[in-house]
Amino acid sequence: MVDPFKDIESFDRAGMLNLISRFPEDIERALELTENIEIEETEIDNIIISGMGGSAISGDIIQAWLRERSIYPIYVNRDYDLPGWAGRKTLAIFLSYSGNTEETISSFNFAIKRGCRCISISSGGRLEEESRKRGIPHIKIPSGYQPRAAIAYLLFPCIRIFEELRIVEAGSEIRECVEVSREVREENGMNVELEKNPAKRIAKEIKDTLPNIYGWRHLVPVARRWRTQINENSKMIARFDEVPECNHNDVVGWTQRNEISSLSSCILLRDRRYETRRIRERFDYMKEIFEGAGARIVEVDSRGRSILARIVSTLYIGDFVSCYLALLRHIDPTPVEVIARLKERLSRIR
């Protein structure tokens, strides 16, 4: 079989694939940055994690990962302000890779006015400046990444905050994340030929389709991440949904075979270690419905012992898939001019 990825590196002019490939080492480096972190324990009733895009997904992952473990409700905020219940017993964590994301800066200011207990993570920018000025703990992470490629530096320092506040103990789980990430890279790296490379095969399978990604429980934020990575890296329309909610609405849309359904792919993110029997039956039923509608079916299995490792392993495969999709389409995965144009347009509003 001819490998369609041969000589295709020339399209990745800004090196997105190289950034993705550094993920295991980025996790280790992110942990080094937080070795001396000291956060004073305080009484809290709830936790808000604010961010947008590639920053906010870290909040989604933590919320899903700690669903059954955290005694505090965790809310992921993607807006200019905060919920009305945020107050002095709220731990408010702000994630912005650039440090200049306007929605995050605005919600940060709301938190200050509400008296929330604040912590921030960024590579610099206004978020760092305002945090330093106000004596708010700030974790500075390396610059030079696209925000979506910097997830290790946003997710794992955030996890360390939860450890420092004694909300969770995650040392062994984090170490496993590094291990499974290296395994995923070994199987899906650029030098691995198509026949032995799951991410390349998935990209080839869904290249000319409308991808629909489905996840259950802790893989719902991973389904969202697959969608946004395909949006930004592959420059393709994609959507995501969650099980079992989608069984009460989305599946009905697949009961009529038409041009759109026949040009679609359905990517099922599976966790056969933790899925219940009822969830497995739901996935089996969904496959029957999707196949009847003419969609291509792709199943992706998570790996690892812990839930966190299974989240990270499935997420990392998706990052490779999105990059290979871009290269198959002869597109540089890095530029996102349409987002830059919107930011420039908004900057003119006073």
Cα–Cα distance measured from residue 85 to residue 50, given in angstroms and rounded to the nearest whole number: 15
**Catalytic site residue from 248, 259, 337, 344:** 248
- Token digits of residue 338: 């349409």
The one-letter amino acid code at 138 reads H
Q: Are 61 and 87 in contact (CB under 8 A)?
A: no
Count of helices and strands (H, E) across the chain: 13, 9
**Catalytic site residue from 245, 281, 291, 343:** 343
Helix (H, G, I), strand (E, B) or coil at 282: helix
Q: Are 119 and 39 in contact (CB under 8 A)?
A: yes
Provide Rg for the chain, Cα atoms. 20
Cα–Cα distance measured from residue 34 to residue 159, given in angstroms and rounded to the nearest whole number: 10
Tokens 């200019």 — which residue? 80
Helix (H, G, I), strand (E, B) or coil at 114: helix
Distance between alpha carbon 270 and the CA centroid of its chain, in Å? Answer: 16
Q: Is residue 196 among the annotated active site residues?
A: no
Torsion angles phi and psi, residue 323, rounded to 5: -70, -45
Q: Is residue 193 among the annotated active site residues?
A: no
**Catalytic site residue from 103, 128, 173, 232:** 232
CA distances from 60 to 16, 22, 190, 307 (A): 23, 22, 29, 14
- Identify the burial level of 343 via C-beta atoms within 10 angstroms of its C-beta, where 0-12 means exposed, 13-18 middle and 19 or more buried: exposed
Q: DSSP code of 82? A: -
Distance between alpha carbon 61 and the CA centroid of its chain, in Å? Answer: 7
Q: Which residues are catalytic?
A: 232, 248, 343
